Amino acid sequence: MSENVIIRKGRIADWKDAFEIWLQLVDYHRELADRPGFDLADDVEEQYRMMFSKHIRSRKSAIYIAERNGDVVGVVQGTIEKRMPLLKVKEQAMVEELAVREGERGKGIGKMLLDRFLEWTEEKDQEFAILYVIPENEPALKLYERTGFQTGILLQRKHMK
């Protein structure tokens, strides 16, 4: 399963491997759900590189890489975001990306990455961690439920164009 896999902090040099894995995730989502929202920007590669670099440098963000025998096989990245100032809890951790390379899925790597990100959120003294998942992604839903996530808010979206 997840033998020989290590989880380590991301480095700027990891961006290209992480980008390739993220593109696989986008394709997977397109296969699962035929709906608008997965169209990529013309400069998606450069935007991803800049976002990845920003997260690496920020104390309010974390990127962890799953590596097997020197090959990047997964990535999780997230950030601490502000909540409405009217609420008592002012911040929450947000999982922005959790992706495992095709062929490595279902081996426990996603759970290892998510667990490490959640450890980081605890180190940052966060009360909540949130994430978005499309309802058709049943393997991800099961992982999140096993990890203690519960549906708290349903996001409704209307395509306007």
Whole-angstrom distance, CA of residue 27 vs CA of residue 24? 5
CB 100 within 8 Å of CB 21: yes
Q: Of 75, 149, 61, which is closest to residue 112 (Cα–Cα)? A: 75
Q: Give CATH for domain 5-146.
A: 3.40.630.30
Type of residue at 51: M
Whole-number pLDDT of residue 3: 84
Q: Indicate if the pLDDT at residue 104 is higher than 90.
A: yes
Whole-number pLDDT of residue 9: 98
Q: Indicate if the pLDDT at residue 160 is higher than 90.
A: no
Whole-angstrom distance, CA of residue 145 vs CA of residue 148? 5
Tens-place pLDDT, residues 72-96:
999 999 999 999 999 999 999 999 9
CB 32 within 8 Å of CB 85: no
Tens-place pLDDT, residues 113-127:
999 999 999 999 999
Token pair of 69, please?
Answer: 């025998």
Q: Indicate if the pLDDT at residue 38 is higher than 80.
A: no
Whole-angstrom distance, CA of residue 126 vs CA of residue 70? 32
Asked which of 29-33, 50-54, 68-72 is least confident by mean pLDDT, the reply is: 29-33
Domains of the chain, residue spans? 5-146
Q: What is the mean pLDDT of the chain?
A: 93
